[in-house]
Structure 1
Amino acid sequence: MRKTLITLGVALLSAGAASAEERQAQIEVSGLWCPSCSYIVGEALQKAASVEIVSFDEHEDGASGVYTITFDDTQTALEEIVAQPSAYGYTAVLLDDASSS
């Protein structure tokens, strides 16, 4: 009986961990006027818990670009991540939340 309860407990804990999902999103940021701006925005995005930058694709104009990020949706809300660059004077817009389907 005890072994069954332990096995059941481990299974329930595993199921809880499985519901936490790493998500991916694309965020377009504008207002980049110098070479260090993309670095500053990257640091701002990573202030939100669990955010990792996968890539940054600068637009031809050099004043904007798209960050592809991953994050754990149990630690950070996507809205919080998108809001981070505005604290530094940049404008950020969610383009794609690839894992929301």
Structure 2
Amino acid sequence: MQRLILTVGLVLAAASAGAAERIARIEVSGLYCPSCSYIAGEAMKRAAAGVEIVSFEEQGDGSTVIYLVRFDDAVVGAEEIAAQPAKFGYSGRLLGTEAEGS
């Protein structure tokens, strides 16, 4: 039994060794009212536990916003986070990701 527990523990540790906190740059467009940027941000945060909006910056007339989103890539992928605003009629596009602290 101890050997089984040790084996399971090692497998879980190895699986999480490659996981890291990452920062994604996500562009969301189609924002037409003051509430839209909040709604799009909340949609991305609900993609998975631990997803956090670090900052956002309006572009041009405010109908496009670039979000910096912190997430754990072992829990959810950046593409999945970027797809969430579409549920509310906005267009999300992943611009890139980097390891946190890079």
The alignment's TM-score, normalised by the length of structure 2, stands at 0.79
What is the deviation of 1:14? 5.3
Classify the secondary structure of the residue corresponding to 2:75.
Answer: coil
- Computing the radius of gyration from Cα coordinates, the structure with the larger value is 1
Classify the secondary structure of the residue corresponding to 2:43.
Answer: helix
| RMSD after superposition | 2.0
Q: Which residue pairs with 1:32 in the alignment?
A: 31
Uncovered stretches (5+) of structure 2, i.e. residues with no partner: none
| Mapping for residues 73-92 of structure 1, pairs under 5 Å | 73-92=73-92
Classify the secondary structure of the residue corresponding to 2:62.
Answer: coil
Question: Within 2, Cα distance between the matches of 1:68 and 1:97?
Answer: 9
Show structure 1 runs of 4+ deviating over 6 A.
none
What is the deviation of 1:78? 1.6
What is the deviation of 1:97? 1.1
Q: Return 77-86 or 32-41, whichever deviates more.
A: 77-86
Q: Which residue pairs with 1:63 in the alignment?
A: 63
Question: Within 2, Cα distance between the matches of 1:23 and 1:64?
Answer: 22
Question: Within 2, Cα distance between the matches of 1:98 and 1:61?
Answer: 28
What is the deviation of 1:18? 3.6
User: Which residue type is aligned with residue 82 of structure 1?
Assistant: A
The alignment's TM-score, normalised by the length of structure 1, stands at 0.79
